Amino acid sequence: LRTSVVDKNEDFKESSNALSSDLEERNKQYGFDCVRTGNCTDETATCSQISDYNVEDVNKQKFYDRNAVNGPEWTDLFVHEMTSAMNIDDAKARAAGILEAFERRVVANKRAAEEIEHASLKEHLRSLLDNNQILRRTVAIQHERNIEQEGKEREVQHLKLTLNQYIEQARTLEVCFFSTSASIKCQHTLNNYTLRLHLQRAQAQQSSSIKGQFPPDIY
């Protein structure tokens, strides 16, 4: 019985040693040596291992930034990194790296979208200002044309009124010319007509001289 117990203890020790050796080999294969766990006392070796670890982190960040673009790719990358983790600490480090890369990508995309939107709004504002200038110029031209049209309409009304007066005067002169009983009245009418003609001619000449003093507007 004692021999059997001793044999079992020896078998257990051999199994434990084999398991420890296997774990040590796997840790060395994936870079989890004593320095990473904080058990190494050599300062030079520790600095070297920490430097290698930082370089590896930088390379991983570049890999994350380069290989993940949309949602499914980020999901696949996260699953791949989690399944490749050797322990809890490694999983946390990988998850932190992925989250940092995802944050950088989101911020970069948001900044790019804001820049595009800003450029679009700026171009739209410039177009609105140009259209506003064109509209203001169009309104000013239309206003000038309306004023000119109103002036022409007033002139036409004045000419119609003058023409009616001339027609009435012509009828009066015709009556006076063929009538002998109203000679004094006809003579008075003729005198008034002559004076009115002289006055209108004088006013027309004065108006022409005033207009000639100012150059026409040039647009």
Round the average pLDDT of the chain to a whole number and report it: 70
User: Which range, 55-69, 71-85, 202-216, has the best average confidence (pLDDT)?
Assistant: 71-85
Distance, CA of 29 to CA of 143 (rounded, Å): 88
Read off the pLDDT of residues 18-58 as tens digits, 9 standing for 90 and up.
Answer: 544 554 554 444 444 433 434 444 444 444 443 444 445 55
pLDDT band at residue 204 using 50, 70 and 90 as cut-offs: confident
Q: What's the chain's length in residues?
A: 219
Q: Report phi then psi at 218, rounded to 5.
A: -115, 125
Domain layout of the chain by residue ranges: 20-120
- The average pLDDT across 65-69 equals 56
The encoded tokens of residue 216 equal: 């026409």
Specify the pLDDT at position 126.
93
Residue 37: predicted pLDDT = 38
pTM of the prediction? 0.38
Which of 85, 28, 37 minimizes the C-alpha distance to 60? 85
Non-local (6+) Cβ contacts of 81 within 8 A are 91, 94, 95, 97, 98
* Segment 112-139, tens digit of pLDDT: 999 999 999 999 999 999 999 999 999 9
Q: Which of 55-59, 71-75, 165-169 has the lowest mean pLDDT?
A: 55-59
